Structure 1
Amino acid sequence: MSNRPLPLLPLLLLLVSYCGSASRSVSGIKGGNAILSCDFEAGEIYDISFNSQSENIDICRTEECRGRVFKEGSCDIIIKDLRLRDAGKYFLHVYYRNDQTELKRQILEYQLHIQDEISVNTGEELKLDVLWTNADKVETNSSGEWTEVWTRGHGVSSDRLTDSDGNLTINAFTSTDTGTYRVLDYRGEILITLTLTDWKGNLNDTDEDKTDATEHLRYWILPVGLTLVLVLVVLVLVVLVLAAVVLYKRFARRGNRRLSSGDTETLGVHDSVCLGPVDHDLTLQGLRLYICIRPLFSPPFQST
């Protein structure tokens, strides 16, 4: 007989008192994570262990671990990268001490339910890897009510279905096969829920969504575009008016300088406009007012 010491935890099982709890339902999406919360309050948690109905499961306690089952907090369990085969019953054993020195064990029970959605092309063969040892029946509501399509011991209920190697196969998928399928254990608890959709139907929905988005974008662009055009027109007009005013003032100042300096040519134009006969042309009248009257109110220029 070997003198190697026996593991401590199995020995402690002989000394602990036990209390159980009702099963907790936990749902997760394939490829996602599921959290099995222990919500356990105790003065001191000595250890935990985790197992399914068929095997003990190693718990990763550091991020460097390459497994999929991790411990978080005092005793929460996280199952990462969920797979359909993860569905089923789990047990978490929590060993703890309160005020007493006696070691106690709390067993928490979980029912893990996995959900997935699959799009299938019409006429395609679809294999569902769901007929495991804990599966008792498969039901579908594709006809509007729940009907059994497979039961353990009786097999499939239709010639279009086959049961082999743990797979439930739908031969030549059609639109009538779309709907929700669920896998139940022998207690009637749901293990897996699958939503099967027609791939072409999804494409049509996508096209309709794109059309609606295009129409919405068109109605949104039209008023915004008109507003931008109006703003640009106003800005252009403002720039042109400012440029005309600047040029007008520049030429006016130049004429005033020449008039003040006694330039002969400028004085001749001034006299012909200001002392000549009145013209009925509005443009010439405006020019006459500016040339003849404005210098009276402008500051004098010194002649050079």
Structure 2
Amino acid sequence: MKMYGIYWDRHFIHLHCLWIVGCVASSSLPSIPVSISSPVGSQAILPCKWKSQLENIPVCHVQWQTPDETVFEQKGEQRWQASEFEGRVEVPEEKLWEGDCSLILRDVQFGDVGLYESFMVVDRARMKRRVFIQSVQLSVHDHKSKQSLRVGGNLTLKLHTPQAMRVVFQGRNSTELTVLWIRGEEDNRGCLEEAERLVVLKGLRMDDCGTYKVLDSHGLSVSTVELTVEACPTKVVKTPHFPQIEDKQAPVGKSTYNRSSSLLMLFVLLFSPLIQHLL
């Protein structure tokens, strides 16, 4: 009986340990990730709804993490962010209590690509467990566009993000890259103007046709613009139109015939005495 009692006590302790481990671990297995694609420099929302998994929790304690690190954690008014996400991540508290634990990620960068998982930490009495909510696969892409402008016009290049560091140009028939703009340095072309998140190339020429790229600090393409420059259309000079003047001939009629007959009679009267003398 004693040996049986010892065996039962050990078996009970083993089951109790397994139960504790199960409570501390996530209560559900990861589901198929939701795919989110975002252009670099924009805002991405990683979706999360916790009320489908939990009910009546005492405190909203949310965690967002990647396979390598914790990105964001919030418990009541306490918040924590990883250094590379500082100032860029947020879970709105007013929506959190409504069941929305979506992570807002601002100024998305190529380094943010990866798998994100959300958890709610439930702490009741002496039992604490972390409940898996949602996994999200984030992908990031650059901006691409084509523009056609005329000679003398201006090309406006959007930088899209404070992480944009330079603008390079490749001519249509060239393999070389020319640096047009570097953040913090003076313009080296004379026709570039820098504004907030904008670089303007003024007074376009025909040889400005080609590809313009905005690059980040890692040399990755933030945006690509294919530019075509067209010549200004030739102005057509209009010849003034004058009304055609027709030559009007005097009509030949009865009055003209009468005038000729009178002249003939006058000729006969004047020269008839001379003709008789000669005869």
**TM-score range for the pair, normalised by the shorter chain length:** 0.3 to 0.5
Structure number with higher relative contact order (C-alpha < 8 Å, ≥ 6 residues apart): 2
Provide TM-score, normalisation by structure 1. Answer: 0.37
**Greater helix share, 1 or 2?**
1
Provide TM-score, normalisation by structure 2. Answer: 0.39
